[in-house]
């Protein structure tokens, strides 16, 4: 209060950010009322991870949004008119590869823009770009901010369905259903799982005891292990992204998964029926450098042992074939023979063209 009342700081704000409901505790509400009494906005952070269906997502968004807003205003008069809702596009919320996070994010914007509980809302923002796993989501957040916040639209900007229409069983929850496996040798491919692997991947709903399935491969000298699936419902000429996560199985089993790998896992992604537009992260490992300060740390080791790779392609027809292998190319292993890799969280979605 002394800072806000100091003439030296006239016209400036001190905006507190909160990541949980502070309307149900006396000292918390008094703290926020002090800022509002001095004309300073408050920032309410939304950490809404994906759900399995659009219906479930709407219930989740409503529970965290419109249902709580009257409670905020009852405890803190004038709350809505002074609140900035800060929506998250961080990796922790992108937990479900079977749905499109861009749609999940727009639904939150739509909720804030159309529900009467938020009439007069001070603002909407996106946080944080530095923890966002793709520039696509940063650009999409900017477009949503313009569409709903600056232009005042209430209809949807995007037309993509919530549930992915391109591939099925992207997380191997149903074993190998939908996938064609081509082992390089007997016993070189299998569906496995490990408790806590999802937490290490910074998938917020996952905990250290949550069994997380993945496709396991062991690199052979003679030929690559390959798994594939038809990509459906494509629009010729449109861009699509394939993003997958890999990790070293031996590092996971020996307790070294929270250490930076010596070099990226050798993986090859190709799409028959698509023209490569970009192969982002082909030689880079995904590293969560937040370490012990990371919001994921208490749920498992930091995600330094994970690698995210993405291929963006332009569709040339209504269908295509996604091929993923543990060799660098069809003729070159690239990585050392005998290395065991894990594959899961395979996102295939329409890509927002720049």
Rounded-to-integer distance, Cα 249 and Cα 231, Å = 27
Evaluate whether residue 166 is within a structural domain. Answer: no
Q: Domain end: 128, 150, 172, which one?
A: 150
pLDDT number for residue 29: 93
Q: Which of 282, 205, 209, 220 is nearest to 246 (CA)?
A: 282
Whether residue 192 is found in the same domain as residue 334: yes
The answer to whether the beta carbons of residues 277 and 324 sit under 8 Å apart is: no
- Alpha helices by DSSP H, listed for 115-195, are 135-144
Evaluate whether residue 92 is within a structural domain. Answer: yes
Name the residue range of residue 295's domain. 180-350
Whether residue 103 is found in the same domain as residue 213: no
Evaluate whether residue 23 is within a structural domain. Answer: yes
Evaluate whether residue 168 is within a structural domain. Answer: no
CATH for 317: 2.60.120
Segment holding 191, helix H or strand E: strand 189-195
Rounded-to-integer distance, Cα 305 and Cα 297, Å = 13
What is the layout of strands, in order, in the sheet containing 180-182?
180-182, 226-231, 320-325, 268-272
Angle at 343 between CA 337 and CA 346, to 5 degrees: 145
Whether residue 140 is found in the same domain as residue 196: no
Average the pLDDT over 76-82 and give the result.
Answer: 96
pTM (2 d.p.): 0.90
Whether residue 194 is found in the same domain as residue 323: yes
pLDDT number for residue 255: 81
Angle at 60 between CA 145 and CA 80, to 5 degrees: 50
Evaluate whether residue 171 is within a structural domain. Answer: no
Whether residue 146 is found in the same domain as residue 31: yes
Residue 307 has pLDDT above 90, yes or no: no
Bridge partners (DSSP) of residue 42 are 83
Evaluate whether residue 159 is within a structural domain. Answer: no
Q: Which residues are CB-contacts of 67 (< 8 A; sequence separation ≥ 6)?
A: none
The dihedral built from the CA positions of residue 109, 113, 119 and 124, taken in this order, carries a sign that is positive
Rounded-to-integer distance, Cα 300 and Cα 202, Å = 8
Q: Give CA separation, 315 vs 168, 229, 291, in Å.
A: 18, 15, 39
Whether residue 128 is found in the same domain as residue 216: no
Tally of residues, the chain: 354
In the three-class reduction of DSSP (H, G, I as helix; E, B as strand; rest coil), residue 219 is classed as coil
Q: Which residues are CB-contacts of 253 (< 8 A; sequence separation ≥ 6)?
A: none
Q: Domain end: 130, 150, 170, which one?
A: 150
Q: Which residues are CB-contacts of 192 (< 8 A; sequence separation ≥ 6)?
A: 213, 214, 215, 216, 342
The answer to whether the beta carbons of residues 328 and 253 sit under 8 Å apart is: no
pLDDT number for residue 293: 34
Find the range with the poorest average confidence among 2-6, 90-94, 167-171, 272-276: 90-94
Domain count, the chain: 2
Whether residue 146 is found in the same domain as residue 260: no
Average the pLDDT over 160-166 and give the result.
Answer: 96
Whether residue 240 is found in the same domain as residue 322: yes
Average pLDDT over the chain reads 89
Whether residue 205 is found in the same domain as residue 345: yes
Segment holding 253, helix H or strand E: helix 249-253
pLDDT number for residue 144: 96
Report residue 116: phi and psi, to 5°: -65, -20
Rounded-to-integer distance, Cα 104 and Cα 60, Å = 11
Evaluate whether residue 155 is within a structural domain. Answer: no
Whether residue 10 is found in the same domain as residue 135: yes
pLDDT number for residue 132: 61
Whether residue 195 is found in the same domain as residue 130: no
Average the pLDDT over 192-211 and give the result.
Answer: 86
Evaluate whether residue 10 is within a structural domain. Answer: yes
Rounded-to-integer distance, Cα 94 and Cα 102, Å = 10
Summarised one tens digit per residue, pLDDT across range 238-296 is 999 999 999 999 988 988 776 666 677 899 999 999 999 987 644 444 444 433 333 33
Summarised one tens digit per residue, pLDDT across range 9-68 is 888 888 999 887 888 888 999 999 999 999 999 999 998 999 999 999 999 999 999 999
Whether residue 139 is found in the same domain as residue 9: yes
């Amino acid at each position: 209060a002394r800072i806000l009342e100091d003439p030296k700081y006239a016209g400036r704000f001190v905006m507190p950010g909160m990541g949980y409901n502070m309307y149900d505790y006396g000292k918390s509400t008094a703290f926020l009322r002090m800022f509002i009494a001095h004309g300073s906005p408050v920032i309410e952070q939304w950490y809404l991870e994906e759900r399995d269906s659009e219906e479930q997502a709407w219930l989740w968004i409503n529970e965290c949004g419109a249902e709580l807003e009257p409670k905020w205003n009852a405890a803190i008069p004038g709350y809505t008119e002074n609140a900035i809702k800060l929506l998250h596009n961080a990796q922790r919320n992108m937990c479900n590869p079977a749905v499109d996070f861009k749609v999940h994010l727009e639904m939150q914007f739509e909720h804030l823009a159309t529900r009467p509980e938020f009439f007069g809302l001070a603002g909407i923002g996106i946080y944080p770009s530095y923890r966002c796993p793709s520039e696509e989501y940063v650009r999409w957040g900017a477009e949503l901010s313009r569409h709903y916040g600056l232009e005042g639209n209430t209809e949807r900007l995007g037309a993509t369905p919530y549930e992915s229409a391109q591939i099925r069983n992207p997380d191997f929850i149903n074993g190998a259903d939908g996938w064609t496996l081509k082992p390089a040798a007997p016993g070189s491919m299998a569906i496995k799982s490990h408790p806590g692997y999802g937490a290490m991947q910074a998938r917020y709903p996952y905990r250290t005891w949550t069994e997380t399935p993945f496709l396991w491969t062991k690199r052979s000298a003679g030929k690559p292990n390959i798994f594939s699936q038809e990509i459906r419902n494509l629009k010729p000429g449109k861009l699509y992204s394939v993003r997958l996560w890999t990790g070293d199985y031996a590092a996971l089993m020996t307790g070294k998964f929270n250490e930076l790998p010596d070099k990226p896992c050798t993986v090859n992604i190709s799409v028959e029926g698509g023209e490569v537009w970009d192969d982002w992260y082909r030689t880079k490992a995904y590293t969560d450098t937040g370490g012990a300060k990371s919001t994921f740390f208490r749920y498992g080791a930091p995600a330094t042992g994970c690698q995210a790779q993405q291929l963006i392609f332009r569709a040339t027809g209504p269908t295509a074939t996604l091929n993923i292998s543990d060799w660098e190319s069809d003729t070159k292993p690239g990585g050392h023979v005998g290395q065991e890799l894990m594959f899961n969280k395979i996102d295939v979605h329409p890509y927002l063209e720049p």
